[in-house]
């Protein structure tokens, strides 16, 4: 078992770090929305579509490459990490893996250039963790598909150019599919911009007899089963961001503890704080190792659902707990909106809910432990 990065991986990580420190750091923590400018810079530097095949316009690299870039970028500028996520780990992978030639040609170049943004349109008012309760319908009509329904909590919803709408082509769970919808499609509309606790925006999306070409269907049955591996990739991206923000908070707190003096000595000389730092460091190392395990076992494919769930759950909780402890170490300056620490706490909190909550991850892990499925539904009475 080799825990060291190859020379190529080190070089990639270094070039991503240089880009982040040179170009992204000056505006880090000041973005109000999606950092379009930085998404374009990532594209120009060959850091979009890292895991997407060359024939689809990507870099044909490995998932580990994408993880290393995400870590380097997110630690410096979390908002630019959103651009790495959107162009490498999120719904873009669904399009690349399952899209027809036409939808790939129409959509991928824009996304890979950092000029488009695609979201996952999954959650509905009545379907959160229980995604299979979704009600949005899809019906073929000649060369088109007609969608009706509503999506909520759509990240960057006010700024997206496309979304992958999860919908049902029939009443059964196996009839669940997904369709790429451009925001200018007839019958598509967005609700007003709303704000998460982290400051990021989201919006509700509505489809009223919304029509898109039939070629924009990614799957018209068993989409959940078929995309399972892609969810693993998305979860890894989410886990790496949580880890990276936790690491960024930790690094800030370490510097603070070295220089801030109370009772005539630096904070780092108080054992009560040293142990906090030891705990934070152990958690960050463990989260990183769990992510790297999930990713290196996946090689160029997708991580195992169990390993991705373990990595996501642990990294989500670590990111938040470390950021929260780091804030404590910084005292009032940690709690002040004048400094980034409080943002790191607010931002890491959301990933414990988004992309499969930590409870849902634990459900999946427990199924692997007992090697059986536990239905979350009430028992049938008939
Ligand atoms: C920052 C952020 C970004 C998001 N971005 C998007 C997006 O871009 N696109 C999108 O479609 N959605 C998005 N979401 C929505 C997200 O997918 C849902 O919030 C998530 O699936 C949980 O659904 P819910 O909020 O309806 O909570 P509920 O499903 O109502 O759950 C409430 C609580 O109960 C727990 N719970 C539910 N069922 C079980 C169970 N069986 N066992 C144990 N615990 C359970 C949950 O873990 C949670 O803690 C985002 C959410 C956040 C916070």
Residue 299 confidence (pLDDT): 65
- State the distance between the two ends of the chain, measured CA to CA, in whole angstroms: 53
| 92-117 per-residue burial string, b: 16 or more CB within 10 A, e: under 16 | bbbbbbbbbeebbebbbeebbbbebb
Q: 316: Cβ below 6 Å to ligand 1? A: no
Residue 378 confidence (pLDDT): 94
> CB under 8 Å to 298, separation ≥6 — which residues?
63, 232, 304
Ligand 1, atom 23, lies closest to the CA of: 128
Which residue positions in the chain have pLDDT lower than 70? 299-300, 382
Which residues are paired to 182 by β-bridges?
162
How far does the centroid of ligand 1 lie from the alpha carbon of residue 309, in Å?
15
The H or E element that residue 147 is part of is strand 144-155
C-alpha span between 77 and 85 (Å, rounded): 13
Q: What is the three-class DSSP state of 154?
A: strand
Residue 286 confidence (pLDDT): 98
Mutate-to-test residue for ligand 1 from 79, 153, 167, 195, highest number of ligand atoms within 8 A of CB: 153
Mutate-to-test residue for ligand 1 from 178, 227, 351, 354, highest number of ligand atoms within 8 A of CB: 354
Mutate-to-test residue for ligand 1 from 129, 155, 227, 350, highest number of ligand atoms within 8 A of CB: 129
Distances (CA, A) of 107 to 44, 76, 142: 18, 29, 22
How far does the centroid of ligand 1 lie from the alpha carbon of residue 369, in Å?
23
Residue 1 confidence (pLDDT): 81
- 8 Å CB contact between 193 and 160: no
Is the sign of the CA dihedral 166, 167, 170, 173 positive or negative? positive
Which atom of ligand 1 lies closest to the CA of 166?
Answer: 11
Q: Name which of 357, 293, 292, 272 is nearest 320 in CA terms.
A: 357
Q: 154: Cβ below 6 Å to ligand 1? A: yes
Distances (CA, A) of 381 to 211, 372, 373, 378: 40, 22, 19, 9
Residue 302 confidence (pLDDT): 82
Residue 229 confidence (pLDDT): 85
C-alpha span between 31 and 29 (Å, rounded): 6
- 8 Å CB contact between 193 and 244: no
């Amino acid at each position: 078992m080799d825990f060291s990065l190859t020379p190529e991986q080190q070089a990639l990580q270094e070039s991503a770090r240089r880009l982040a420190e040179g170009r992204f750091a000056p505006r880090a923590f000041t973005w109000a929305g999606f950092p379009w400018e930085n998404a374009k810079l990532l594209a120009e530097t060959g850091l979009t579509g890292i895991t997407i095949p060359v024939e689809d316009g990507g870099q044909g690299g490995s998932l580990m490459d994408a993880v290393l870039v995400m870590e380097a970028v997110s630690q410096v500028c979390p908002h630019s990490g959103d651009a790495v996520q959107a162009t490498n780990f999120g719904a873009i992978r669904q399009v690349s893996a399952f899209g027809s030639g036409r939808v790939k040609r129409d959509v991928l170049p824009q996304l890979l250039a950092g000029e488009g943004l695609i979201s996952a349109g999954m959650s509905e008012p009545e379907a959160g963790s229980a995604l299979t309760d979704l009600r949005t319908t899809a019906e073929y009509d000649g060369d088109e598909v007609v969608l009706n329904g509503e999506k909520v909590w759509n990240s960057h919803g006010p700024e997206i150019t496309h979304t992958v709408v999860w919908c049902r082509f029939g009443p059964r769970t196996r009839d669940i599919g997904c369709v790429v919808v451009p925001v200018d499609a007839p019958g598509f509309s967005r609700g007003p911009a709303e704000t998460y606790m982290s400051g990021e925006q989201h919006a509700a999306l509505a489809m009223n007899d919304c029509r898109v070409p039939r070629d924009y269907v990614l799957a018209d049955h068993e989409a959940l089963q078929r995309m399972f591996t892609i969810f693993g990739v998305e979860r890894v991206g989410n886990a790496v961001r949580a880890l990276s923000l936790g690491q960024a908070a930790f690094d800030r707190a370490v510097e603070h503890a070295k220089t801030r003096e109370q009772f005539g000595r630096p904070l780092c000389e108080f054992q009560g704080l040293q142990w906090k730092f030891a705990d934070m460091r152990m958690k960050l190392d463990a989260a990183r190792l769990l992510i790297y395990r999930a990713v290196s076992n996946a090689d160029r494919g997708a991580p195992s659902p169990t390993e991705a769930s373990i990595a996501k759950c642990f990294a989500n909780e670590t990111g938040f707990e470390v950021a929260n402890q780091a804030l404590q170490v910084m005292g009032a300056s940690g709690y002040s909106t004048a400094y980034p620490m409080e943002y790191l706490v607010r931002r890491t909190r959301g990933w414990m809910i988004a992309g499969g909550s930590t409870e849902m991850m634990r459900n999946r892990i427990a199924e692997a432990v007992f090697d059986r499925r536990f239905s979350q539904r009430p028992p049938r009475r008939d």
